[in-house]
Each structure stands twice: as C-alpha cells, then as structure tokens.
Amino acid sequence: MKHLRYLSLLLLLPILIGLTGCKDSTTEPPLEINEADVLVSYLEGTGGDYLNSTACPSVVSAADVYTTLTTNPTKQYLIDIRAKADYDAGRIQGAVQVDLANLLTHVKGISTQSYDRVVIVCYSGQSAAFGASLLRLLGYNNVWSMKWGMCSWDSTFAVGRWLSNMKNDRWAQFTQTATPKNSAGSLPKISTGKTNGKEILEARVEALLKEGYTPASISNATLYTSLSSYYIINYWPASEYNAGHVQGAVQYTPRSDLKSSTFLKTLPTDKPVVIYCYTGQTSSYLSAILRAMGYDAKSLLYGANAMMYDNMPANKFSTSEIKKYPWVK
C-alpha cells in the first residue's frame, strides 16, 4: 500500500507542476499608464495650471531688480545662467553664475523661501524665461526671469543681442488669412518610469535643463526655410492675429487655449511646434511647459520684434529699455 501511495504522488506531481505553471502564465502584466495624461492632469490640477494662470510669464524689470539691489539686497537672490566667460566679463554685483543644466540642483541647495525673489538673468531674457518656467512648475513660486536680460542692464550687453534683432524683414510676408486649428488628437508619449504627476514632472524638468535652451528655440531664418515643416502658434489675442501674422500660423489665445479642456490636444505630436509672441520671452515660458508635456516645442527667438518691429502691436523693445546700471567684472 505504501508503494501505491508513492506511485500516486509521483503521478500527481507533473499535474501539480503544470497547474502551477498555468497559474503563473495567466498573471496579468503590470498596468501601463500614459505618463503624459497623468502629467497634464497633475499640472492642470494640483500643479496649479501655471501655463494658463496670470503668473505666466513671471517677469521682473531691470529697474525693479536694481531698486531691490540698492535698498534691500538680502531679499533678492540673483542667478546668472550665461556662459562663465561672459559672466566673468561683466555681471550684476552679487549674481551667482550657474549653468542651466545645474539650475535645479543649485536651487535645491539654497533656502529659496528666505528671499522675496529669486531672479534668473541671461543675455536677452529668453533662456532665463525657460529656466524660470521649469522651476515654477516645480513649485518655486518666487522665481522670476529678468525682462530683456542683461541687454536692459547696460548698453554694453545689448550689442549683438536686442540691438541687432529689431527688424522688419518678414513683415511683407505676413498675411491676414487665418489658418484653423488642427482637429484634436492625443497627447505625446513620454517615458520617465515614474507613476505620479509630481515625480514625472521632476524627471522631465531635470531632463530638459540638461538638454538646455537650444533645442527649445528656433530663429525666424530657420523657420522660414520651410514654414510647412512646423506647426506655428501665434500666441496673441485674435484681434492682433487678424491684423497680420506669419503665414500658416494658428492663433491661440493666451491663458485659455492651451488646456486639455480646450485646444491643447490640437497640437501635433508628429512635427515641431513653434510658438511666437512679441519678444520671445513669453514663448520661452510656454516652450518649457509644452516640452515637459512631451511636445517638440520651440520658442521663436526675439519673437515679432525680429520680424515686424515697426508694426508691433505691443511690447516693443526700444533703446529706452536699456539702463545704465553699474556692473562688475
């Protein structure tokens, strides 16, 4: 009888192994999430919907920076993200040089809340806007970019920057013919390996800072080599768009049209998205946020100032913007 029991167990063993194997093979794979959906939901909800808030863009004038510097300097922290050689050649007293790639690490290492304002300074206000936008997405709400960058601090810094980009070269090519928005599609695909909005966002911000501002910007000379290769956003009110815009550009109303509940999903995921505003500073804020979402977004450098200067509807750079504030080497 004992031998029969052993024999029975031996006969049952392959069946038990087979059943165990079947159970393992039917285990459901881990649930895949659409990270872009999670991120956009977070940004528009818990994240404060910065893209569509009145705080975007968060820009402070050189005059305000200088006033604080001379009256209450301990309440303001200045970060200069220009190249080290340019920083060494001339900078604002007290400004700390930080490469854009290291911006988040640097900010994490200081007590930002002990300052009324953390101001990021660059050449023209555009790359500073990009960096400030990414930090604000992470909740650093007292971070600002300095309008017009070092160009507005002293004329020494404006040569070859704003003073060379007040142009009318494209105005004759502008049109009043409207181009409709795309039909709504889906959000881009992003993959950070994270599962919640806050972690996905931080991973995206770190990656974008390391990439730098160059992939997030484009000159109008490059744009005009093939307008149809880009989905062009005119980020102005409709009345100003109707008065004249880049051929093929699509009008998106500031602070309302780039929401998931309105027209965010009309942006294509299969071609670069070029945003232009008046100065390239607001569009730099936008390009940072849209790139975080996974779009190949690019800010048009110097905005309309470099294309239709004499016919600007608003926010025109002029020599009156250039102060004569002291600087050091």
**Digit-coded pLDDT (tens) for 106-133:** 999 999 999 999 999 999 999 999 999 9
Pairwise CA distance, residues 2 & 68, whole Å:
95
The region, left, alpha or beta by phi > 0 then psi within -120 to 50, assigned to residue 249 is: beta
Would you state the pLDDT for residue 56?
96
Q: Which of 265, 258, 269 is nearest to 235 (CA)?
A: 258
The residues of the chain that CATH labels 3.40.250.10 are 35-160, 171-311
Three-state SS for 102? helix
Whether residue 142 contacts residue 115, with contact meaning beta carbons closer than 8 Å, is answered with yes
In CATH, the number for domain 171-311 is 3.40.250.10
Residues in contact with 30: Cβ distance below 8 Å, sequence separation at least 6, in sequence order: none
**Digit-coded pLDDT (tens) for 146-189:** 999 999 999 999 999 999 999 999 999 999 999 999 999 999 99
**Digit-coded pLDDT (tens) for 246-280:** 999 999 999 999 999 999 999 999 999 999 999 99
**Digit-coded pLDDT (tens) for 229-246:** 999 999 999 999 999 999
**Digit-coded pLDDT (tens) for 18-69:** 544 544 545 555 557 899 999 999 999 999 999 999 999 999 999 999 999 9
Is 13 a residue whose pLDDT tops 70?
A: no
DSSP assignment of 114-127 equals: GSSEEEEE-SSSHH
- In the CATH hierarchy, which top-level class contains the domain 35-160? alpha beta
Q: Residue 180 burial by CB count (10 A; 0-12/13-18/19+): exposed, middle or buried? A: exposed
Between helix 281-293 and helix 35-44 the angle, nearest 10°, is 130
Q: Which of 323, 272, 277 is nearest to 301 (CA)?
A: 277
Whether residue 76 contacts residue 119, with contact meaning beta carbons closer than 8 Å, is answered with yes
Sheet strands (E) in the chain:
59-60, 76-80, 96-97, 117-121, 143-146, 217-218, 231-234, 250-251, 273-276, 297-300
